[in-house]
Amino acid sequence: MSKHLNYIAGKWVRAKRGRTFENRNPADTRELIGSFPESGAEDVEAAVQAAAAAYDRWRLMPPPAKGEIIMRAGLLLKERKEKYARLMTREMGKVLKETRGDIQEAIDMAYYVAGEGRRLFGKTTTSELKNKFAMSVRMPIGICGLITPWNFPMAIPSWKIFPALICGNTMVFKPAEDTPLSAQLFVEVLAEAGLPPGVLNLVHGSAEAGAAIVRHPRIRLVSFTGSCEVGRIVAEQCGRALKRCSLEMGGKNAQIVMADADIDLAVEGALWGAFGTTGQRCTATSRIYVEKKIYPAFLREMTRRARRIKIGSGLKPASQMGPLINAAQRQRVHSYVQSGIEEGAELLCGGKPAKGAGLTHGFFYQPTIFAGVKPEMKIIREEIFGPVTCIAPVSSLEEAIAQVNNTSYGLSAALYSRDVNRAMRAIRDIESGITYINSPTIGAEVHLPFGGVKNTGNGHREASETALDIFSEWKSVFIDYSGRLQKAQIDVD
């Protein structure tokens, strides 16, 4: 067992109370990854003080120099991609090709944001007065609190940390307690790349540490990715303190399959969307609406192929789906499955924990498909965050879109059809932040905005240049070189 530490003011330190928690492999709980600090408010306070001390030096560093540090971090991640992917698979369970993709996303984000060091564009514009110049520029916000989930333990931190850095902020970073090692590796890379002490501070722990970050008066922005239940609490507390808050929360994402679609492609996309990362994605395909003409054939093929998915440790080359993250999540998934059965949905396959060689000591669950699902059932309304999807027939594209929009979420949606007119109507009418055509509901790219509508978030978008709007403030600048007092809106004749 290895013991790990917080990273505060450029030093690796224990939690002040000396408490720790264990991090175990969800595919085999006999394997202890390590022990990590169970931090409290006093550790967050130390991290905030370090971030405050580093702020002036960091904000005054030219953005191109910041970009060079971020680029070096990306190159180090590229160099260590395979090593880190194996460690991440041991820590959170998803198969190696997916953890490699997780790290690649962080690499891509590093390259993208590093380039912003030579952009960070503001705007110049005209003035209504003579001999007066007007422009707008981006300014840093200050100390940011970043709280990230376990399902993408490097990609999602990169969406927050790299834009926050290039904008000139310092920060306190609390990763999910299920994936502290991946977060540590990420911070180590930035430190090795030359990030000054105190700019990025890592505080491990659970809800106590997260709550301390949200409440701290010197933290001016909180960026949170996680459940809607916790997100509401974060928003309420930030609202009371009038601090900026960026929320990326849940989804109940849907795929539409029309009769003119490439059925094999649609099934392949649905399988990847529903069961990739064991369904533990906010963009996972948990609802599928299929035109009645092809509904029976789609059900048969989807079920046949789902039963063939190979479950096992993500480190094994043959494995196509790994475990759920922990015992509580497996119980949550199973309770939803039981609810679906009790409400009268037709269970086509799966529906229980997976058994067999190599699965005894992990949190494995069978790929699960329901048919005969009615709109009022919990399994088609609430986010399950596991390998469970529901398939329902529809008579038309209009009916399908109405069903897709019949949710409190609005993150991602997909349409499979060869008809460009249908595609354009779906893009226009589906209420989601992301819409795919002939592609599954998962598969974001870092140079496009990521986020959703309704209960999925509070209007912000991560990744792309839109992330800069989260982590910077706009300042309007007026330079009067007339040599006399000029009064805007008055001296305009």
What residues are labeled active site? 248, 282
Distance of alpha carbon 194 from the chain centroid = 26
What is the three-class DSSP state of 233? Answer: helix
Strand partners, 257: 290, 416
- Reported residue count of the chain is 493
* Number of H-type helices and E-type strands within the chain: 15, 19
Helix axes 420-429, 397-405, angle to 10 degrees: 20
Beginning with the edge strand found earlier in the chain, give each strand of the sheet holding 368-371 in spatial order: 346-349, 368-371, 388-394, 285-291, 253-257, 412-416, 434-437
> Which residue in 373, 289, 117, 324 sits closest to 381, CA to CA?
373
Instruction: Provide the 8-state DSSP code for 456.
Output: G
Distance between CA atoms of 187 and 117, rounded to whole angstroms? 20
Phi/psi of residue 290, each to 5°? Answer: -120, 135
Instruction: Give Cα separations from 411 to 254, 459, 471 (angstroms).
Output: 9, 11, 21
Phi/psi of residue 384, each to 5°? Answer: -95, -35
Of the chain, the end-to-end C-alpha distance in Å amounts to 77
Q: Which amino acid is at 136?
A: S
Residue 132: count of CB within 10 angstroms of its CB: 15
Instruction: Provide the 8-state DSSP code for 303.
Output: H
In DSSP notation, 159-225 reads HHHHHHHHTT-EEEEE--TT-HHHHHHHHHHHHHTTPPTTSEEE---SHHHHHHHHH-TTEEEEEEE
Task: Find the angle CA(388)-CA(384)-CA(366) to the nearest 5 degrees.
Answer: 30
Distance between CA atoms of 214 and 206, rounded to whole angstroms? 13
> Which residue in 324, 340, 426, 450 sits closest to 390, CA to CA?
340
